[in-house]
Amino acid sequence: MIDLHTHSTASDGTDSPARLVEVAALAGVTTLAITDHDTTSGWPEAAESAGRHRIGLVRGAEISALARTPGWGTGVHLLAYLHDPTHPDLLAETDRTRDDRTSRARRMVDLLGEDYPITWEDLLAQTRSGTTIGRPHIADALVAAGVVPDRDEAFATMLRPGTRYYVGHYAPDAVAAVRAIRAAGGVPVFAHPGADARGRVVPDSTIEELAAAGLAGLEVDHRDHTPGRRRRLRDVAESLDLLVTGSSDFHGEGKKNRLGENTTQPEVLEAIAAQGALEVLR
Ligand code: AMP
Ligand code: FE
Ligand code: FE
Ligand code: ZN
């Protein structure tokens, strides 16, 4: 059971990196990727836990990016696997994204604070030091303040783009991000490319551009994709000679996604391992 997309408290998951690896081992996952948003800070703790729980570990990250599409552009997520976490170009971009995510969260909390009883301290209480801050932490602060019952309700109401509380954040251009991931020795896979319930998705021409820049694969099997969307994406992957992955996008108790609910074939994992600068820890 190979699950190549999960989150810990290094970003918006609810399990520590060590606990994430442990619950994955208990769930029967044989190889897990830790892919926190715009950070690799969970890697050392996850690696130590993977050794203890005898589970394979792919060190990765989920890079926020912006695809050049007509109008405003489209936010996309790129999974980066097995890259050098110290490579300056990619690190500069993720540092900039993380800084702006913090400023953006401050502005959203300020706006929300005009109508609801939440402060920046309430948000910080929902994070650890070094956490990549996202809307889920704002949701957690709203839950703790008794404003909404859970993250889902916060996302369905005040945290949606288009509300008066929503603020965007910096993200690098997607073609540049694919190149930066490759330059760092990483393997770039387009996360949930057809998840249209979250917002706009990119046209096939964008996937073609990313493939030309070095994209390695598409995350086809993901709970946010309908069966029809998966079939279409599988065809696109085949026509562009891209790998096909499947994963849970597990966030602990923060989302309904369960570990191993979608999985990746062993030969695809081997192809990713062969292209990455780092080893899969086994
Ligand atoms: P942000 O990156 O700050 O814009 O927040 C988006 C993140 O929120 C995504 O990466 C998801 O992990 C998470 N998310 C989106 N919708 C929900 C939801 N309904 N419940 C919990 N988390 C969500
Ligand atoms: Fe997330
Ligand atoms: Fe994502
Ligand atoms: Zn994710």
Per residue in 30-66, pLDDT tens?
Answer: 999 999 999 999 999 999 999 999 999 999 999 999 9
- Residue-level pLDDT at 197: 85
Rounded Cα gap, residues 158 and 169, in angstroms: 17
Q: Which residue among 251, 253, 257, 258 is best mutated to probe the pocket of ligand 1, counting the most ligand atoms within 8 A of its Cβ?
A: 251
83 C-beta closer than 6 A to ligand 1: no
Residue 112 backbone phi and psi in degrees, to 5: -65, -35
Q: Which residue among 12, 74, 106 is best mutated to probe the pocket of ligand 1, counting the most ligand atoms within 8 A of its Cβ?
A: 12
Starting at the edge strand found earlier in the chain, the sheet holding 74-81 runs 2-3, 31-37, 56-67, 74-81, 187-191, 217-221, 243-246
Cβ contact 248:259 at 8 Å: yes
Residue of 258, 279, 261, 259 whose CA lies nearest to 270: 279
Extract the runs of DSSP E, i.e. beta strands, from 39-171.
56-67, 74-81
Cβ contact 250:265 at 8 Å: no
Q: Is the pLDDT of residue 70 over 90?
A: no
pLDDT in tens, 159-207: 999 999 999 999 999 999 999 999 999 999 999 999 998 888 999 999 9
Please state the length of the chain. Answer: 282
Report how far ligand 3's centroid is from the alpha carbon of 77 (Å): 5
Rounded Cα gap, residues 175 and 178, in angstroms: 5
DSSP state of 197: G
152 C-beta closer than 6 A to ligand 1: yes
Q: Is the pLDDT of residue 85 over 90?
A: yes
Lowest mean pLDDT among 3-12, 133-142, 193-202: 193-202
CB atoms within 10 A of CB 261: 17
- Residue-level pLDDT at 72: 82
Rounded Cα gap, residues 24 and 98, in angstroms: 27
From residue 130, alpha-carbon distances to 36, 60, 80, 102, 196 in Å are: 12, 17, 19, 11, 30
* Residue 260, token pair as written in the block: 């191993």
What is the three-class DSSP state of 245?
strand
Strand partners, 64: 77
Instruction: Indicate the pairing of strand 74-81 with strand 56-67.
Output: antiparallel
- Residue-level pLDDT at 186: 99
CB atoms within 10 A of CB 275: 18
* Residue 189, token pair as written in the block: 């896979």
Q: What is the mean pLDDT of the chain?
A: 97
Name the amino acid, one letter, at 252.
G
pLDDT above 70 coverage of the chain, percent: 100
Report how far ligand 3's centroid is from the alpha carbon of 256 (Å): 14
222 C-beta closer than 6 A to ligand 1: no
Nearest atom of ligand 1 to the alpha carbon of 155 = 19
- Mean pLDDT (whole number) for 239-262: 97
Using CA positions, which residue lies closest to atom 19 of ligand 1? Answer: 152
Report how far ligand 2's centroid is from the alpha carbon of 254 (Å): 9
